[in-house]
Structure 1
Amino acid sequence: MKKIIFSIGILSILVLLFIWIANVQVSSSTKEQLFDTVDHIPYNKVGMVLGTAKQLNGGQLNYYFTYRIEAAAKLYHAGKISFIVVSGDNSRTGYNEPKDMEEALIEQGVPKDHIYLDYAGFRTLDSVYRMKAIFNEDSFTIISQPFHNERAVYIANHLQLKTVGFNAQDVTRKYGFKTLLREKFARVKVLLDNLINKKPKYLGSPILIGEGLKQEKVE
């Protein structure tokens, strides 16, 4: 019995150590690529908004969604991006993150023909990978909350893409406690995905962003 307890203790320590290493690695290796203000972030032709539900299960407003939309619109109107890809989940009837994000961006004054919808952004890995594989973009701005941007930019670095992250307003710790807890384990999954070169479940036909439109900075 003592040997079993000892073995469980050692295993638990190793698991906790791996979780700590994964989180430190993701945060420390991407901090120079994340920006909080419009003034300092470099221009990219395309910004990608990572998907989340418009509303919570109880019908309340999801502030992660609201703040990401506000951040994307802010970048667009400041001329820091010219086009926006909204990448999210559309895997079941009546649930359409990309369409909800598109409608919200249009309400914020972003032209519809400057918004592209990625319906297969089921995971952050999928969203980042598909920017190159589907939209032929290897240099772009990722838009989400800081913790999410760290992980997304880390994935992009592994895929040898040139990205920066624009940090949308974060939520309170109380509001985002469960999300931040899940993030600890999501970063472990990122390291494991990198080891096996995990690919998205779905790809699709190429889409050229800005085709037929004048590609210039928005003033």
Structure 2
Amino acid sequence: MFRRLKSKWFRIGVPGCALLALVAIVAARQWMVQDTHGRVFAAAGEMPARHVGLVLGCSPHLQNGRSNLYFRYRMQAAHELFAAGKVGYLIVSGDNHIRSYDEAGAMKDALVELGVPADRIVCDYAGFSTLDSVVRARDVFGQREITIVSQRFHAQRAVFIARRKGIDAIGYGARDLTPRCGLRTLLREQLARVKTILDLYLLNRRPRFLGDPIQIGQCGGFGMNKA
């Protein structure tokens, strides 16, 4: 009897949980797409100028040692914004939980190599997650109006978080990978969107670290070519 009941609940419960998970994934995706409609841009020329851009971090290399195209395209996009005069400073925010792993430092080096002056780049070494990076831009770096730079799907999630934290955020979508090459990342993103909803509305998650305020230069100029 007990085995039959257990088997019955297993047959009902597993499909039910799968259906619930699918509904949550679809709902989270649609919510973020609709909420950020018109706020994530594909062309730098279409964007309003902002004092600061927030570049979200990732590793410059994959586990197999090959170059990470997400990183490369993200740095190119950040450089494009600066060169077009759409941002005056760039916060590069990434994970630096151990001395040998420094996303923010790698981003700064890559941007300097592309031509962004080092004194226009501010490193945030405690950007352990998208939420951490966004909230630290407000609470540590004092920014309530930012342009977020990442691939479009990631920028949408970051802008969604920012708007719920009282930040007037827009996004610039860096070049993406083909669906075949980026499939694993896109699948992870669907789960990350559900987790974001839980973090914001249920768990009230906060950044791992905050710290003393850091002021970003107040000079009037923007990027290389004013627009």
- Same fold (TM > 0.5): yes
- In the alignment, which residue of structure 1 is the partner of 2:66? 60
Question: Across the two proteins, how many residue pairs are aligned to each other?
Answer: 217
Task: Report the 3-state secondary structure (helix = DSSP H, G, I; strand = E; otherwise coil) of the residue aligned with 2:87.
Answer: coil
Alignment partner, residue 98 of structure 1: 104
Q: Give the Cα separation in 1 of the matches to 2:193 and 2:104.
A: 24
- For residues 111 and 162 of structure 1, the distance between their equivalents in structure 2, rounded to whole angstroms, comes to 26
Is the radius of gyration larger for structure 1 or structure 2?
2
Tell me the percent identity: 41
The C-alpha deviation readout for 1:103-151, integer Å capped at 9, x for no partner, is: 0100111111110000000000000000010000000100000010010
**Contact 2:89–2:222 under 8 Å retained in 1:** no
- Give the superposition deviation at 1:31: 2.0
In the TM superposition, what are the counterparts of 1:124-163 in structure 2 within 5 Å?
124-163=130-169
Is 1:45 equivalent to 2:42 in the alignment? no
SS at match of 2:38: helix
CA distance in 2: counterparts of 1:38 and 1:20, whole angstroms: 30
Are residues 1:176 and 2:185 paired? no
- 1:128 partner letter: V
Given that residues 131 and 161 in structure 2 are in contact (C-alpha distance below 8 angstroms), is that contact kept between their aligned partners in structure 1? yes
Amino acid across the alignment from 1:134: V
Q: How far apart, CA to CA, are the structure 1 residues paired with 2:169 and 2:216?
A: 17
1:215 aligns with 220
SS in 2 for 1:116: strand
Counterpart AA for 2:205: K
- Cα distance in 2 for partners of 1:177, 1:92 equals 29
In structure 1, give the amino acid aligned to 2:206. Answer: K
2:13 aligned with 1:7, yes or no?
yes
Task: Describe the superposition over 1:48-102 as per-residue Cα deviations: whole angstroms up to 9, x where unpaired.
Answer: 1100001111110100000011000110011000000000000113110000000
- Give the structure-2-normalised TM-score: 0.93
CA RMSD, Structure 1 to Structure 2 (Å)? 1.0
Contact 2:126/2:133 (<8 A) preserved: yes
Mark the runs of 5 or more structure 2 residues left unpaired by the alignment: 1-6
Q: Deviations over 1:153-175 (max 9, x none)?
A: 00001112101000100011121
- Match of 1:166, SS state, is strand
- Report how far residue 38 of structure 1 moved: 1.1
Tell me the residue number matched to 2:119: 113
Report the Cα offset of residue 215 of structure 1. Answer: 2.7
Q: CA deviation at 1:34?
A: 0.5
TM-score by length of 1: 0.96
Which amino acid counterpart does residue 89 of structure 2 have in structure 1? Answer: F
